[in-house]
Amino acid sequence: MSTPTKERTQEAVRVCPPAPARSRLHRLGSWASIAWFLLPALILFLVFVLAPIAIAVYTGFFKWGGIGPMDDFVGFENYTKLFDDQVFLGDLGRGLYLIVLSITVQLPFALFTAVLLNQRLRGRAVYRMLFFAPYILSEVVTAVLFTMIFLPGDGMADHLAGALGLEGLQGKWLADPSTVMPTLFVVMVWKYFGFHMMLYLAGLQSIPGEILEAASIDGAGAWQRFRHVTLPLLGPTIRISVFLSIIGAIQLFDLVWVMTAGGPNHSSETMAISMFQFGFKRYQVGYASAISVVLFMICMMFSLVYQRYALRRDLSGAVTLGGGR
Specify the pLDDT at position 20: 61
Residue 16 has pLDDT above 60, yes or no: no
Q: Residues 207, 264: one domain? A: yes
CA distance 83 to 89: 7
Q: What's the pLDDT tens digit per position in 130-144?
A: 999 999 999 999 999
- Residue 56 counted as domain residue: no
CATH number reported for the structural domain that contains residue 180 in this entry = 1.10.3720.10
Q: pLDDT > 90: what percent of the chain?
A: 67
Specify the pLDDT at position 325: 42
- Residue 62 counted as domain residue: no
CA distance 318 to 33: 33
Dihedral, CA of residue 135, residue 136, residue 141 and residue 146, to nearest 10: -30
Integer-rounded Cα Rg, in Å, for the chain is: 29
- Residue 67 counted as domain residue: no
Domain count, the chain: 2
Q: Residues 149, 278: one domain? A: yes
Q: What residue numbers bound the domain in which 158 lies?
A: 80-324
Q: What's the pLDDT tens digit per position in 135-174?
A: 999 999 999 999 999 998 888 999 998 888 888 888 899 9
Estimate to the nearest angstrom the gap between the alpha carbon of 231 and the chain centroid.
Answer: 22
Instruction: Tell me the whole-structure pTM to 2 decimals.
Output: 0.84
Q: What is the mean pLDDT of the chain?
A: 88
Residue 17 has pLDDT above 90, yes or no: no
- Residue 74 counted as domain residue: no
- What φ, ψ does residue 177 adopt, rounded to 5°? -60, -25
- Residue 117 counted as domain residue: yes
CA distance 214 to 24: 54
Specify the pLDDT at position 165: 87
Q: Residues 19, 131: one domain? A: no
Q: Residues 16, 155: one domain? A: no
What DSSP assignment string belongs to 167-205? GGGTTTTTTSTTTHHHHHHHHHHHHHHHHHHHHHHHHHH
Task: Work out the pLDDT band at 322, boundaries 50, 70, 90.
Answer: very low
Q: Residues 32, 84: one domain? A: no
Q: Residues 132, 11: one domain? A: no
- Residue 57 counted as domain residue: no
Q: What's the pLDDT tens digit per position in 273-297?
A: 999 999 999 999 999 999 999 999 9
CA distance 53 to 47: 10
- Residue 48 counted as domain residue: no
Higher pLDDT, 33 or 194: 194
Q: Residues 165, 243: one domain? A: yes
